[in-house]
A and B are shown apart, each in its own frame.
Chain A
Amino acid sequence: MTAHGTTAPGARLEVSDVTVRFAGVTALDSVTFTAEPGTIHAVIGPNGAGKSSLFNVLSGIYKPAGGSVRVDGAELIGLAPHRVTGLGVGRAFQNASMFAGLTVEENLLLGRHRLGRGGVFGAGLRLPHMRRSEREARAKVRQVAEFLGVDHLLPLPAAELPYGEAKRVDLARALATEPRLLLLDEPAAGMHTHEKLAVRDTIRRIATEQRITVLLVEHDMGLVMGISEQVTVLDFGQVVLTGPPDQVIADDAVIAAYLGRAGAAEKERSESEPPS
């Protein structure tokens, strides 16, 4: 029971030698990894490791200084953001920002923008092709909303959604673009444990039922290790390691990069707070 009926299988994402620099700071340094079709691939790393920069490259917002990103063999770098969506790359945002002036349904319909037809004249004169396109879009959006259990929210103004629901609507909006590669930016951030479980199940269903490749950035290690087939660890803009979760957990370099810094932060905190 897929929401879309027929869906194309997930895309293979090949990131090679991607380098991003800002005013002398190297945010990404020759980042290379591959996400296989239909898998869940996580990218982890401490704050400032370059995860957000990576996602911004993958959605066409940043232009890297060098390297290549291929989605099923098609080069992504150099495309404007709206053309990247055309390659089948969908994105849910970290802050789940909704278009505040629109309803939830209209937000989801924007996900289907590139799949719709018709312009100013089609709309203003109510031409048949436009009405058909709008009807189809609404039906598809309802399917996606039902798949994620947000259909009851459709008529509400998006600005009034509580954070948790906005996150789900954001995910639905990304799915509405009919992606073959879905970028999820901290889908469980700020959620309670039971909400996190629901998010985990949803991501699994997206990958297994819809066979969409999922690239996941997430801080919750339990979630990451529980659902990912492969994990890429970033630190200071460089790939420390790519491998299955059990290998990542056991790796010394990862522990150094991650826990080392977390340990240092822990220590700092305990020093700055005098014992009461």
Chain B
Amino acid sequence: MFDKISGRIRWRAPVAVVAGVVLLAIPLYADRFWLNLGSFAFAAAIGAVGLMILVGRVGQLSLAHSFFLAVGAYGYIWLSSPGTEDSWGLGLPSLLAAVIAVTMAGLAGLAFSPLAGRLKGIYLGVASLALVFIGQHVLFAAEPLTGGYNGRNVPELTIGSFQVLGVEPELSLFGVPLRQAERGWYVTLLVLVLTTVFAVLVLRSRVGRAFAAIRDGEVHAAALGVPVARYRSVAFTLSSVYAGLAGVLLALLFQRVVPEYWDLFLSLEYLAMVVIGGQASVAGAIAGAAFVSSLPLLLQRYSDAVPGMGGAVSDFGPAYVAQILYGGLIVVILFYEPKGLAALATRARKALTPRRAVPAERTPAS
């Protein structure tokens, strides 16, 4: 046992250090495109980790993730914008607005707990569809909040006169100026690291064990004293907090948001991230998020190089290819390798450290 653990630590520490150095150094070399790609991936990964907890660790399906992302995004816009005649806003300091917006997403998730606690698995998945459609309706109807079809600008995040994701005051690192793209990379990466550590600690605790017990056998869990309904709604609330945080960050990165973005397809994208990542793995969810959120941007950029995809003229544009790929990957991964990308990592680790069996993370049984 001690061998195994020290083996894993010996393994993990250098990998983590190297990965950390690379991630911190990238903004010094990469251009705006790649930095933006990274920032979006980090923000999406926060949302994906939240959904992974619910789907992979508790065995509850939610298709409402886009709703909670929207609560975070529009909560932030509403709280931080100065109000005008035809657009709502409270004009709060933006950092405070961000914190309250994330809390709002959590409260929205908590408010759903009469259903999130009682409904199981797929049933919750269908019920949660309601939030997406009600949310879409509200977003299009509440023009003073969202600006309707035209969308609405997102106020900058500032602390005093410091533009967290802007250019003022000028900063530089090793002679490289830190502007929007560089700051976006570092800020989203920092938030991702903090929230990932938080998630890992929760999943390793009695709370995480209760989650897994509900997934593996809810009746047995209850008979051992685990309040099943309470933990189901705790997980749902936690996952909506993560979605809200991702929503705030995405809004800040977009700088302008439109209601139609937060639709059912966005929820399915997050589900794809979780499934591709292997459902129950934190690292897998992050990798899945990186893949799914980067794919359309990469296709956009390189579509001219692929015969037949040629930009906007073709039927087989980047959006088409991306959707077919997410949908197809959900099918293929569940069919051939339910542990997704996490399984690849496990295999690589096994190949590199023979004879040391590493307990694999498991996917929901049924």
Contacts and interface: CB of A to CB of B under 8 A. Distances in A.
* A–B direct touch in complex (beta carbons closer than 8 A): yes
Interface of A: 59-61, 80-82, 84-86, 91, 93, 97-103, 106, 109-111, 113-114, 116, 118-120, 122-126, 130, 133-134, 137, 154-155, 157, 159, 173-174, 177
Contacts of A61: 219, 222-223
B208 A123 contact: yes
Q: Which 8 A-B pairs have the closest CB atoms?
A: A123-B205, A85-B225, A114-B225, A101-B362, A81-B222, A124-B198, A99-B216, A155-B1
Given A109-B206, A113-B206, A119-B234, A97 B224 contact: no
B93 to A, nearest CB: 24
Nearest to B357: A157
Contacts of B1: 154-155
Contact of B225 (A113, A118, A154, A155): A113
A116 B207 CA distance: 10
Interface of B: 1, 4, 198-199, 201-202, 204-210, 212-213, 215-217, 219-228, 234, 238, 280, 359, 361-362, 365
12 contacts: A59-B223, A86-B225, A97-B220, A99-B217, A99-B221, A110-B221, A113-B225, A114-B225, A119-B207, A120-B234, A122-B205, A123-B206
Secondary structure of the B contact surface, majority rule? helix
Contacts of A103: 359
Q: Which one of B1, B205, B362 has the highest number of Cβ atoms from chain A below 10 Å of its Cβ?
A: B205
Contacts of A157: 359
B215 A120 contact: no
Given A103-B359, A110-B224, A123-B201, 8 more contacts: A82-B224, A84-B223, A93-B223, A100-B362, A113-B209, A123-B204, A124-B201, A173-B224
Contacts of B220: 93, 97, 99
A101 B238 contact: no
A178 to B, nearest CB: 10
Nearest to A81: B222
Contact of A125 (B198, B207, B213, B234): B198
Nearest to A102: B212
B216 A102 contact: yes
Nearest to B197: A124
Nearest to A119: B207
